[in-house]
Every structure is written in structure tokens, then in C-alpha cells.
Structure 1
Amino acid sequence: MAIDWQKEVDARKDDILNDLKELLKVRSEREDSKITADAPFGPGPRDGLKQMLSYGQRDGFTTKNVDNYAGHIEFGQGEETLGIFGHMDVVPAGDDWQTDPYDPVIKDGKLIARGSSDDKGPSMAAYYAMKIIKELDLPLSKKVRFVVGSDEESGWGDMDHYFEKETAPDFGFSPDAEFPIINGEKGNVSIQVHIGVSNEGNYTLKKFQGGLRDNMVPTNASAKVTTITAEQADAMTIAFNEYLGINPISGTSVKEDDTTVIFQVAGKGSHGASPQFGHNAATWLAGFLDKYDFAGGAQNFLHVASAYIHEDFYGEKLGVAFEDPKMGKLTMNAGIFDFDEEKEDAFINLNFRYPQGTSSETLQAGIKNAIGRYDVTLVEGGHHMIPHYVPQEDPLVTTLLDVYEEHTGEKGEEQIIGGGTYGRLLERGVAFGAMFPDSVDTMHQADEFMSLDDLYKATAIYADAIYRLAK
């Protein structure tokens, strides 16, 4: 049976867009301060999960909510299950948006909102692909289950809980990356560098903060500094303006009193898997402050950030650089900086995307060797994921590449990325779309968007792919 998948999608464009807009209005950022038994990651992720599941209930699928951690939408019959994995949680919107990040706007064919490309837009495309197959009453020999998560951007606690209660699908994909396919993902581990908060110099670092998540390049950073004399404070503000003028950042300095200055820097955000595409506001600020006479823990904090982390995206200064012929280079993102002289210690959170051939233990040994003399303590945190790879000759990979090639006319090749997707949850799991090779990547950035053309084209590709894998 020849099916015009794009025609089926075109007939449902308005429905796809209306459901997606409704979903994007849910502010599904994780909020630890609002966690309850009913909202394990805060009310936003819970509400996003429930909203997505409500579409499945409305459209006659079998649905299940697993304790507001995750859920699924399912149809079909058979002993095997094809899994599709999406997530409703989003990274914090942050600043510098031209529009309200939770009031979707269409401009120049782009749907602008937090989560539009990561991952509510692609998830809606995959859901409607399932809906088309169901409405056409096409015969299937396998179950198709769309697993909906709510903690992908943080610790993956949603999937830990889900798989305690539910059996894993046999194979599948996540619509949370790019076409033609992602069949390999680097390891992902965060290592916190803890440093003391003592101040012993002529300049005092009261506070230094930057970044929102370990998987985001910090867009903004601020520091509160006190000096001994008003003249020192004035000289710092003049030097800071000169520093801004010759570097790819912007910022402000405000005198709180004669000897206290608050410095703020705005850089450029990027996904933590590709830190080289951003300008880390925190390390640029540390680079300015490091030349002043701080001492003790404050000096250690600033110097480590400036001399060992700033503009080092591959861990070379820390002595942990590594490259694998297939998976490529290790990358490093310094995502969170926190120094407060009233706390017990300060920390810098380093997120590594590492290829096969190295390990968290090797990384920690290298870091300790490079900066151990600055009185640091290392702590592994977050959800550690080891490298993942599905061979390109696997039928899952070959089928998805065939579908991509037929719909686009472009040759499909295997790809390995530093980003972590739910595709790695399954031994035979990959990421498949929804960005195309010519798409603009705005994930984790201000004014995130998904092209409507990409949204509808991806829906057709997903429908064809799901049907071929499950028929």
C-alpha cells in the first residue's frame, strides 16, 4: 500500500499546531523547591506530562501515568514493542528573549517558545505520526509505545522510576536530536570542583554566580566585590568597561557603595554538548577579576576558572583531552559557578561529554593532577551515562536511514554526538531527528524555535518510519 505521508500530515497541520501551542504554554522547568509526592520534579514537568498524556486519552490510545514521573501512550499488538522516547521538561528559559518564552509566537515560519525544538515540537511530531497510523487503521505486528519523560534535562530520575515499574521496549528511537540519525552518543558525566571561600587579599569576593544548568553554557554571570579604597573600586569599573570593549561579551558595573561593585556579564548561551559555540559569561568575568589581588579560596576559585577553564572546550588545560577515531573529541562545559563567602565552600560544575576509551575516574585523576594544588575537592554528580553505540548495520539503523533518504533525497550517514538523548536507554536505541542538517540549532538558547516546515516534514518521516518498523 502506497501512502502519501506528507499529504496525511498536511491534512492535520492545524491540529498539530494547536496541540503543540497548548503544550508549549506549560512552563515545565524543573523546580526543586516545589517538589512534592505528587510533583516529583515540580509542578511544571508534572503538568507537561499530564498535558501530553491527555492527547493520547482524547485520541483513543492506551495511556498510563507512572506516578507523575513519566508515562506512555500505546497502540498496536504483538510480542515486540517499538519505543519512542520524548520529554516534556525544558531547561530554564533564562533571559534575553524577544518574546515571552511560554507564549508561543509564529514569526517568519518559525514557532518560537521554550521547548519548541527540545523536545515538545519533535515529540508532537512523533505523536501525530502515531495518530496518523492509528487513524488509517494500518496493520501492525508490534506494539508502538511513546514514552513521555519529565526529567531529561536534569537527572533522568523519571526514567529510573519508569523502568522500575514498566518493561522496557525492545528497540526504538528518540526524536530529540537531528537527522539523518544519531546511533552513537558520548559518555556524559558532571564533576564538581569544590573550593574554599576564604578571602585574604586586598580585594574581597563576596559572591560570584553564573549558569543555570550543567548542560547549558552560562549566558549570564555576576560578582560582588569589595575593595579597600574608593579609588580601587573606581579603577576597577573603568578597567571593566575597557575589558568589555575588546571582548565578545557585554555587561554592566554598578557601585553599591564607595568600595563595593557588582559586575555583570552577558555572554552567549549554547547547548552544553557544544560549548565551543557559546561565550561563557562566568569564565569571561573570572578572567577579568583574576588579575586583581584576591587571595585564599577566592583567588583559587577565580584562577581555576580563568586559567584552566576559560575558552578550553576540550579539557586541554586540565590535562584530560582525549579523542577517539569514531566518537571524536571529549568536550567540557563549565555550566554552574557558585561562590558565596557565607557558605561552607564554592564549586564549579564541569560537564564532560567523553568518547569511548576514557572514563570518569581518568578525568578526575587528570583534574586533580592539574589543579590539586589549589586545594580542590572533586565530587562526581548527576546522572552518569557511559558511551553508547548501535552498529550502523543494525536493521533499526538501516531502516531509519532508508526512510530519511527517501523523504529528503539526501544520503544518510551515521553520526555520533556529545548530547545525551533517551535513545541510549535501550541497547538498540538511537536518536532520529527532528532537526535537519540545514536547521538552525537553538536548543537551550534564548528565542528557541522550530521551523514549521521542519515540524511537518519530520512528522511525515516519523509516520513512515514507525510504520516500517512496526508493520
Structure 2
Amino acid sequence: MAIDWKKEIDNYKEELLEDLFELLRIDSVRDDDHKSDESPVGPGPRKALEKMLSFGDRDGFVTKNVDNIAGHIEYGAGDELMGLLGHVDVVPVGNGWDNDPFDPQLIDGKIIARGSSDDKGPTMAAYYAIKLIKKLGLPVKKRVRLIVGTDEESEWLCMDRYFKTEEMPDFGFSPDAEFPIINGEKGMVSLYVSVKGEQDKNASNYLNSFDAGIRENMVPQEAHAEVRFADPEKAEKAFFDFLEHNPVTGTFETLDDGKSEITVLGKASHGSMPEKGVNAGTYLAVFLTQFSFTGQAKGYLALIAEQVHLDFTGKNVGAEHTDEVMGTTSMNAGIMTFTEDTHGLVVLNFRFPRGITVEKIEIAADSALSSYNATIGRGKDKTPHYVSAEDELVKTLLSVYAKQTGFEAHEQSIGGGTYGRILERGVAFGALFPDSEDTMHQVNEFMTVKDLLRAASIYAEAIYELIK
């Protein structure tokens, strides 16, 4: 039976949008201040998970909630299990939105809301793909399970908990990246660079505080510093001259106590593609290095300005490496903080291909940064993941994509980490198209209705081809 997948999905357009808008209205940013045994990563992510599972209950699927941190919606029968791994948590919203980020708006064909493209929209497209297969009553020989997480943007606690007790799929994909496919994902590690020491409290210029970034995997959009300048008027003039020659904006305010508050605004982007953003923190550090600071502050600002600013591949710290399939290392300074009473911290988030190890990156960075009186600690790491282009999973997904879009189908690797790497035969598949604008992790995030529907159509055919 020939199936017009695009036409069939289009029949569900209004229902799909209604369900998606319900999900988008839930603020599902991880909230550790209000987490509990009943809400392991906060009440918002739990509420989003429950809402997603409620759609499965309504439509007659088998569902399961695992400790309010993950769950699944399942269809079909058979020994083999295909997994679709999506998430309903979102990154913090930041400032500068044209509308409430949790009040979704449909404007000029764009669904504008936090999570519309990462990853509530694509997860809903995958759900409706399974729903269509069920509604059409198509014969299947395998099971397909939409596994829903609530902590993808942070520590993946959801998947750690889920797979302690639940079945590992034999193969599958995550609808949380881009088309035509992501069959290679770089390894990941964050290095915590601490700069200690004492400032001269009687120095003419004194750094009271410095703060930029909210997540390691985001390019900081905002940066703030509180400084006591020897000559505030001269500093203010230099600041606005700096703004004229750099791709940032900002404000400068001198307070009654003689201190000055400086704010720099750049552009957020996903930390795996730092070159697409404008890092407000590194630009602020570069500005401040025009002035003479002492001790810890001097070393901290110099480290950022000299070794981190505009280095998107980790070359300055010895981490740059290129693999012909997986590409080049990326480095993002995602968090920068400084207080006069503690120490300066820079969190460097690396995405690295095959051929270089976490140990080598750490050793190289330690050597490169030691002259700044810096010490390095290592966070959790993930090794590179790759599924051969000759695997039937990859070939089937690419074939369906090419058939439905007419676009070139080819393998590719990314620096972003998706749930696809959890499965030995796991990849990421959509939902961002080559002709789409990527607004993930940015203000005014959106996904077009057109992309939502064509992703759902591709998912439906691809899933059916793999489980029939």
C-alpha cells in the first residue's frame, strides 16, 4: 500500500499544534531550588513529563513513568525494540524575548517559545509519527518506544535513572539535532579552571566581582562586573569606545560608593558551536585588561583575554585536534565568575573528536594555563560516539530523508551531545533542516509549522520502515 506520509501527517496538523502548545506552556527549566523526591529535577520538568505521558494515555498507548524523571510511550509487538529518545526539559530563557517564552505564539508560520525546537517540538513530531502508524493500523514486527527525559540540558540524570531498570533499545534515534543525520557525536568534557591569589586592596583599580554565563553548554549572552576604577570617567569613556569597535553592547554606571557596574550583552548560542555566538564574558574581560589590576584579578582577566577569547577550537590550550570524519575540537567558555573573597572560575566546555583523549586535553590545558596561577579540575566526560554509514539504521534514515525532501543525504558529526549516543546503534535524526534557521538556546527560539510537519512525516515513514 502506497502511503502519502506528508498528506497523512497534515491531517493531524491542528491536533499536533494543540498538544505542542500545551507542552510549551510548561516552564520546564531544571529547578534545583525546588527539587524533591517527587520532583527530582524540579516541578516544571516533572509536569512536562506528565503532560507528555498523558497524551500517550489518551491515545491508547502503553506508558510508564519512572520516578517522575523519565518515562516512555510504547507501541507494537516483537522482541526487538526501537528507541526514540527525546526530552521535555529546556535551557534557561535569558533576557531579550519579544514575548513570554512560555506563552507560545504562532507568528508568520513560526512557533515561538522556549523548547519549540529543542526539544519539545521534535519530540512531539516523533510522537505523532508513532500515532499515525497506529491510526493507520500498519503491520509491525517490532516495538517502538518514545523515551522521554527531563534532564538532557544538564546532567542526564533522567537517562541514568531510566536505564537502571528499563530495557535498552536495540537501535534508534534522537529527534534532537539536525537532518540529514548525526551518526557521529564528539566526546565532551568540562574543565574547571580556578585562579587563586590576593588582590592589593589599596590598588588604584580593584575588581569586586565578575559574572557571565548560566550553563556550561551555552555561550554567555550577558556579563557583569563591579569595579573600583582609579578614574571612573576615563573608564566609562574607554568602555563606550570599546563598544564601537566590537560586536557587543552594554551599559556603564558609576555608583554613589565610587564603584562602577558594567554590563556587556553579546549573543547566546549552543556551546557546541561557540563561533555562532558572541561571548559577552570574554569581551568584558578583554575590555578590563586595559586597566592595571593586581594579583588574582590580573591573572584571571588575562587568562580569559589571552587564552580563551575568540579561541573556538582550544588551540591556545593545546586541545585542538581534527578527525577527517568527526571534525575539529570546539571550546566554549560557558561560565565565568569572580568574587574578591573566593577565587576566579572559568568553565571550559570541550567537544572533541576521535584521536584525542580527555587526559591529553587536561594535561595540555594545565600546562598552558599554569603561568596564570591556575589549577584545573575535570568534570564528567563522554567519549566520542560513531555509527558507521554502512549500518542499515543509517542507510534507512538517509534514504527516507532523501526521498521526502530531495535534499542531499550524507553522514555528519556534531559537537552537541544527544541521547542518540546512549544506544550502541543510536544516532540523532532531525529535526533541524539544512534550509532552517537554528535558534536553539537563543532568545525568540522557534520552529516553523512547515518544519514540524515535514519532520513528523519523515519520522513516520522512517520508523515504519525500521519496524515493519
Note whether the superposition's TM-score is higher than 0.5. yes
- Is 1:318 the counterpart of 2:317? The answer is yes
Alignment partner, residue 456 of structure 1:
453
8 Å CA contact retained: 1:209, 1:282: yes
Q: Which residue of 1 aligns with 2:361?
A: 363
Q: Give yes or no for contact 1:24–1:116 (8 Å, CA) kept in 2.
A: yes
Alpha-carbon shift at residue 346 of structure 1 (Å):
2.4
Aligned-CA RMSD value:
1.0
Cα deviation for residue 197 of structure 1 reads 5.7
Q: Which runs of 5+ in 1 are unaligned?
A: none
Contact in 1 for aligned 2:325/2:412 (Cα 8 Å): no
CA contact (8 A) 1:197 1:341 kept: no
Looking at structure 1, the residues matched to 289 and 31 of structure 2 have their Cα atoms a distance apart, in angstroms, of 33
For the residues of structure 1 that align with 2:39 and 2:257, how far apart are their CA atoms?
46
Deviation string 1:87-108 (CA, Å, 9 cap, x unpaired) is 0010000011111111001111
Tell me the residue number matched to 1:127: 127
What residue is the counterpart of 1:66 in the other structure?
66
Q: 1:183: which partner in 2?
A: 183
The yes-or-no answer on 1:52 pairing with 2:52 is yes
Partner SS, residue 23 of structure 2? helix
Greater displacement, 277-286 / 38-47:
38-47
2:24 matched to which residue of 1? 24
- The answer to whether the 8 A contact 1:396-1:469 is kept is yes
Gaps of 5+ in 2: none
Cα distance in 2, alignment partners of residues 322 and 392 from structure 1: 22
**Cross-structure match for 2:383:** 386
Write the distance in 1 (CA, Å) between the matches of 2:33 and 2:339. 20
Q: Aligned partners of 2:95 and 2:209: how far apart in 1?
A: 20
How far does residue 226 in structure 1 lie from its aligned partner after superposition?
1.2
Q: Which amino acid aligns with 1:90?
A: V
Q: CA deviation at 1:376?
A: 1.3
2: distance between equivalents of 1:321 and 1:291?
A: 28
Q: Which amino acid aligns with 1:460?
A: S
Contact 1:207 1:340 survives alignment (8 Å): yes
**Aligned partner (choices 218, 224, 228) of residue 222 of structure 1:** 224
**Matched residues in 1 for 2:320 and 2:377: separation?**
19
**Corresponding residue number in structure 1 for 2:444:** 447
Matched, 1:238 2:237: yes
User: Within 2, Cα distance between the matches of 1:45 and 1:202?
Assistant: 48
Letter in 1 for 2:204: N
Q: How does 1:260-409 map to 2 (within 5 A)?
A: 260-342=259-341, 344-381=342-379, 383-409=380-406
Question: 1:404-415 alignment to 2 at 5 Å?
Answer: 404-415=401-412
**Secondary structure of 2:315's aligned partner:** coil
Distance (whole Å) between structure 1 residues aligned to residue 282 and residue 34 of structure 2: 30
Report SS of the residue matched to 1:439. coil
Partner Cα separation in structure 2 for residue 5 and residue 199 of structure 1: 66
Between the aligned partners of 2:228 and 2:111, the Cα distance in structure 1 is: 45
Equivalent AA in structure 2 for residue 443 of structure 1: M
Helix, strand or coil at the partner of 2:458: helix
Displacement of 1:258 in angstroms is: 5.2
Q: State the percentage of identical aligned residues.
A: 53
In structure 2, distance between residues paired with 1:236 and 1:410: 53
Would the aligned equivalents of 1:197 and 1:339 in 2 still touch at CA under 8 Å?
Answer: no
Letter in 2 for 1:355: P
User: Residues 204 and 225 of structure 1 are in contact (CA less than 8 Å); yes or no, is this contact kept in structure 2?
Assistant: yes
Deviates more, 1:364-373 or 1:278-287: 364-373
What is the CA deviation profile of residues 32-66 of structure 1, one whole-angstrom value per residue up to 9, with x for unaligned ones? 11111111111111111111111111111000010
**Contact preservation (8 Å) 1:197, 1:346:** no
Count of residues in Structure 1 that have an aligned counterpart in Structure 2? 466
AA aligned to 2:339 is D
Report the alpha carbon displacement of residue 5 of structure 1 after superposing the two structures with TM. Answer: 1.0
- The equivalent of 1:211 in structure 2 is 213
The runs of 4+ residues in structure 1 deviating greater than 4 Å are none
For residue 317 of structure 1, give the secondary structure of its aligned residue in structure 2. helix
1:427 and 1:2 map into 2 onto residues whose CA distance is 32
1:102 aligns with 2:99: no
Note if 1:93 corresponds to 2:93.
yes
What is the distance in 1 between the residues matched to 2:329 and 2:164? 32
Taking structure 2 as the reference length, what is the TM-score of the superposition? 0.98
Provide the C-alpha distance between the structure 1 equivalents of 2:84 and 2:195, rounded to a whole number of angstroms. 42
1:189-223 Cα distance to aligned partner (Å, 9 max, x none): 11110112632242111110001101110000000
Tell me the secondary structure at the aligned position of residue 335 of structure 1: strand
1:328-362 CA distance string (max 9 Å, x none): 110000001111123x3221111000001111111
Task: Give the TM-score taking structure 1 as reference length.
Answer: 0.98
Give the match's secondary structure for 2:252.
strand
The separation in 1 between residues aligned to 2:412 and 2:255, in whole angstroms, is 51
Which residue is 1:112 aligned to?
Answer: 112
Residue identity matched to 2:367: N
